[in-house]
Amino acid sequence: MKKAVSTALATGTAALALLALTAAPASAASATSSFELTFPGNKPHSLYNVENTATHSGQMTGKSVVWWQIMVDQVEDNSKRFTSFKITTRIEERLTKTTEDHVVTSKTCDLTKLVNDNYSWFAIEPANTCVAPSTTYDGELWWSTDSTIVYDIEGDGKGAFTKELQGSPLVHG
């Protein structure tokens, strides 16, 4: 019985080692952008951050996580800050390291209610994460995750602004 257990354990260990050697390694690259916004009146001056991450393990995934904080603890005006606050996350590919990006998949997430209801948000949760649909990874191409935020500040009369954010470093191989 002892020999059967030892043989089964050795066989199982060898199978796990072989599986580990043949599994595609996961690779991820991320970059963070920050920008400050000043609102009209006595609404709180705020800092917004976005981390774009490109990950592959057979599939290419791209996500953007948004978090923010007020710059001064005292909030004098509790009214709505944004008419609109949307982020578009894109998975992009290139034929070479220096050629232009081509969008493979994208998703736009509306965070207006979330940012209006919360002066600060630090957690990484589905509510503040925008994930583009995954696509099949091709190691011959160069991949990245980029994002754009389009926001319209309530009451400033200036309309919507577009903020291009730093994309993830390129993933290849």
Q: Domain coordinates of the chain in residue numbers?
A: 26-172
**Cβ pair 69, 35 in contact under 8 A:** no
Q: Are 120 and 153 in contact (CB under 8 A)?
A: no
Confidence label for 26 from pLDDT (cuts 50, 70 and 90): low
- Count of CB atoms situated within 10 Å of the CB of 29: 18
pLDDT tens-digit series, residues 159-171: 999 999 999 999 9
Please report the pLDDT score of residue 2 as a whole number: 40
Instruction: Tell me the C-alpha distance between 1 and 102, whole Å.
Output: 60
- Give me the architecture of the 26-172 domain, per CATH: Sandwich (2.60)
Which of 54, 168, 37, 41 has its CA nearest to residue 115?
37
- 74-118 pLDDT per residue, tens: 777 878 999 999 999 999 999 999 999 999 999 999 999 999 999
Q: What is residue 66's three-state secondary structure?
A: strand
pLDDT digits (tens, 9 = 90+) for 120-132: 999 999 999 999 9
